[in-house]
Chain A
Amino acid sequence: EAGVTQSPTHLIKTRGQQATLRCSPISGHTSVYWYQQALGLGLQFLLWYDEGEERNRGNFPPRFSGRQFPNYSSELNVNALELEDSALYLCASSVGQASYQPQHFGDGTRLSIL
């Protein structure tokens, strides 16, 4: 089966710009999760979407937002980019709201802010 795919692999932006990251989950998975992995830190939970709805978000400012499409793919949008937004952004998917399902991860998008 095809795994979780993320695009682009790398993204370079400048301060104040906006970035859009994309994620396609494994076929049959309805939940998509976004994480930020900054240098030296663990994965920080950003957003969780299931069945097109935002189920929860982590402790990030509102300029981090996203959506999930009817085909369950997802976008993460980051507005007004700041230098500290430079990080690896990982997307994961799971079979849905069934309790405590393991997450399957993509390779990530490396976002660099100049």
Chain B
Amino acid sequence: AQRVTQPEKLLSVFKGAPVELKCNYSYSGSPELFWYVQYSRQRLQLLLRHISRESIKGFTADLNKGETSFHLKKPFAQEEDSAMYYCALDTGNQFYFGTGTSLTVIP
């Protein structure tokens, strides 16, 4: 069963517009969720994680246990945000990644 779902393979927004990348998960325990990002010609790297409740590069993500979602949001998209974004679930002994969303910010 797919544990992490990212419904959008591709997402395009204009510079300065708000952006939301969707992530839904399936797990009955206490989830630990992450967003990873891969910029062009770079390796996959951590963007942010739920437990830290931090904002990185203007991005935030709130865990909604009722909706089992962990959507990534940014109020004003920048061109340098264009990248591949992966949502990931860590259950403590298994690791699940979504299929990724390719974000393009149009100048």
Binding site for B on A (CB under 8 A): 3, 33, 35, 40-45, 48, 55-56, 58, 90, 99-100, 102-108
- Interface residue ranges, B against A (CB under 8 Å): 4, 6, 32, 34, 36, 43-46, 49, 51, 86, 88, 90, 92-100
B97–A43 touching, CB < 8 Å: yes
A interface, over-half SS: loop
Question: Are the C-beta atoms of B43 and A3 separated by less than 8 Å?
Answer: yes
A42 CB contact (under 8 Å) in B4, B46, B94: B4
Please state if A100 and B49 are interface contacts (CB–CB under 8 Å).
yes
Q: Which residues of A have CB within 8 Å of B49? A: 100, 102
A90 and B44 contact, CB distance less than 8 A: yes
Number of A-B contacts (CB under 8 A): 49
Known A42-B4, A42-B100, A100-B51: A56·B93 in contact at CB below 8 Å: yes
Do B43 and A42 touch (CB < 8 A)? Answer: no
For residue A3, which residue of chain B has the nearest CB?
B43
Knowing that A45-B96, A58-B94, A103-B46 are A-B contacts, what are 5 other residue pairs whose CB atoms are under 8 Å apart, sorted by A's residue number? Answer: A3-B43, A42-B86, A99-B32, A104-B46, A105-B44
Q: How far is the CA of A99 from the CA of B97 in the complex (A)?
A: 18
Contact at A100–B97, with CB atoms within 8 Å?
no
CB-based contact A105/B43 at 8 Å:
yes
- Contact, CB under 8 Å: A45 / B94: yes
Report whether A41 and B94 are in contact in the complex, using a CB–CB cutoff of 8 Å.
no
